Each structure stands twice: as structure tokens, then as C-alpha cells.
Structure 1
């Protein structure tokens, strides 16, 4: 509800002078970002139309328009002519990194993955919970099942979810956000090699299972080495 220039749930500004419009816009942006972060507005979904946003956030149409424009500018939202506005990235950081990764070649992406995922494996080994292990086991099982069924789109998606589960086991929000930001590129390199990976599938799954086992046993160095082994295999597959 919009009350005396303050968003409902926000504390009244006790400073002198009127509350500036920019403050309302910034608050609306934060609320929208929160809707995206919590997946109340999932990636790929259309956000509510302007009149509903006015009611939802309790600000004027102008404030809503400015907030939406700001998120479009940083790549979080995308306006589609005659079809509304859609969520195209989870955060401005995600949008910026995705844009940079789209310009990179597979070799550059694998080098970044090597630096990031080795440390992720170490931290996950140190901090993982039993729940984290169950999550990894579930996604690895689904990955293997998808490949065996010939559903390669599901294979790529589930493989990524397995690695995201490892990142989540670090319990470091920035690390998780960074890894999630390269999702498109991770899936792209997996997808690019999948047609040539038939003979390597058994080895790939063996490395995945060894990686999971090392994390479960909290063997940090061994887990990092399995990441290196996996990415080296992917590099050879892409080069073949």
C-alpha cells in the first residue's frame, strides 16, 4: 500500500524534506529483484502488468516504469513488443557475466570453470551436509537416466543441476551466484560435446561418481583433482 510516499513495510524517512522519487524507484527495484531471487517470478516468466505492479508495490506508475526500465537496462528484464516484460536473468551480476561468457570460446570457458570449480569442490567437501549429498546423488542419478534414455536436453540440464548442487554445498551465496551466472555457458560446453561423448560416457559418469564420493568423504584435494580430470576429459572431447 502507498502511504504518504512510503512503501508498505518500509520505515518512514525521519530526515527533513520530502522523500525523493529516486528512493521509491530504488525500493521498487529491490522488491522486484527479491521477487526474482525467490523465484516468485521465475526465470523466463512474464512479470505482472503495470497496474498490478502499482498495487503490489504501492507506488506510482512512473516509479514502476522507472524501476522496470532500470532492470531492463541491466539485462534482468526483457520487454517484448506486444507481449509484456519477461525475466531473462536472476540478477544484474548474472546478466553481465552471461553476456561476457557468450563472447568467450569453449577454451576460455573451461579455464574459468577450472579455476572456479576446483575451489567449489574443496569448499563443498569441507562444508557439505547430508542433505547436500542427497541432492547431488539425486541429480547425478537423473543425469545418468536421461543419457541412457537418449534425452540429451534433460542430460545437459541435469548435469548442470548436479554441479550447481555441489556449488550450493559450499554454503557461500556469492559462490553459488557466480556459478549460477555461468549456467548457460556450462550447458553450452556440455551440449557441444555430447554428440561426440558416447564412447566417453562411462568414463564421464565414473568421474562424476568419484567426485561425489570424494565430497561425501570430505576429501578436499581428491575432489579438486576429480574436477580437473573431468574438465580435461571435456577439453579432449571438444578438441577431437
Structure 2
């Protein structure tokens, strides 16, 4: 299905897709979302602005028009082995980042949203899938889905994947390592000169400083302004980020 061109989108854009499910689907275990460039052929060589699924909501609507059943997701598996943003952020109400083509899109991008529990699907049921976008670039360009499609699955292997003990143990270990990494004190060493600071360098590095004239470009008769940073920095012979921060 095609979406409205991105120029018409505001920064906070919600898109709700509603579609009948095939009669062959008697249960639901996963939903695959695919976001595509507006012009797939041109985007291969001239990329477009991408998209970020900040939040995702889904419902199963029965054929008799009864109360919709909220669809709860347990995991999001994207098509990237090491995505820039965690795809599971799309399930986190406190985060605006999730599955994304960040910040550009060259080709179709897909992610599978795995249900916590399989849902029985009656004949004639429909699915309602809402994608919410809350991220923009350069204060002007909304990262919004412009074209794409949905697919559904009743494959029980998705549930087996969620309950795999070995995979759960690996994810737990990875989460613990990330938590430990986030507790490491860190600092950014400013560098405004043309020569960078290298940790372990035997001698202090000299940094070029530049004098700017106060006022508009091309004007004269203004006082000179000297940037407020030192021209010489101490030798760094340590590699620990904690020690760098204390130094």
C-alpha cells in the first residue's frame, strides 16, 4: 500500500493501516512490517529520508464488529544484525526510537513483530496496525514511513524462538554487559585544533588557535576574539575512560 508523500507530514504523524486477514489464517503469531522508499529504483543511487517507528499499536478486529483485541508484542526482529537503534524501542512508550531506516533509506527495510501469545483468528477478522513517528532531522525533515506493506504469519516457530532458553540466556548476558558499560564514566575531550590528541602520546600536542574578528564578515574596526581553550594539553598516558574523566 502507498502512503501520502512525506512533504505533507507533520513531525508527529500517526498512520493507521486496516486490512482484512486471509481466510487461510486461523491464528496470528507475528506481523512483518516493510517500509519502502517512495521511488525504489531511484533510491538505490539517490537515497531518501528514512523513517523511525517510534511506537506501534495493533488490534485484532472480529468480523461481527465486536470489541477489538489488543495485540501485545514481545520482541521485534529487524533485518539488521547490529541496528543503530534498538528495534524493541518501538514497544517502549518512554522511547521515541525503534525500528528504523535511520536516517536514509536505499531499499525496502523489514522487521518482524512477534506476539507474546498466539491469537486465534476467526473468519473475516481484520487487523489494525498503527505506526507512530516522532523523530525528525535538522529541525525540518520528518522521518516518516511513506510507502510499505504488512504481512502476517501463523508459524509456531516464532513462539519457539521466544521461548528458546539458550537465546534468552544470551540476551540476558548482553543486557547485563550493556548495563555495566553504561555505568562507566565517560567524557568527551574537546578538540578545536587541527592536530588531535592521541592517548599514550609521549609529548603534549600543540593545538592551533585562531583569531576571529568581532562583528559581521567583511567589516573592519572590531576587536579581535581569541577562542577560550588552551593551546597545549597535558600528555595522556592512560586509556581508561574513568581516569580520563577524573583527569
Relative to the length of structure 1, the TM-score reads 0.21
Structure with more of its chain in strand, by fraction? 2
Give 1 or 2 for the bigger CA radius of gyration. 2
**Comparing both chains, which one has the higher relative contact order based on Cα–Cα distances under 8 Å and sequence gaps of 6 or more?**
2
Relative to the length of structure 2, the TM-score reads 0.21
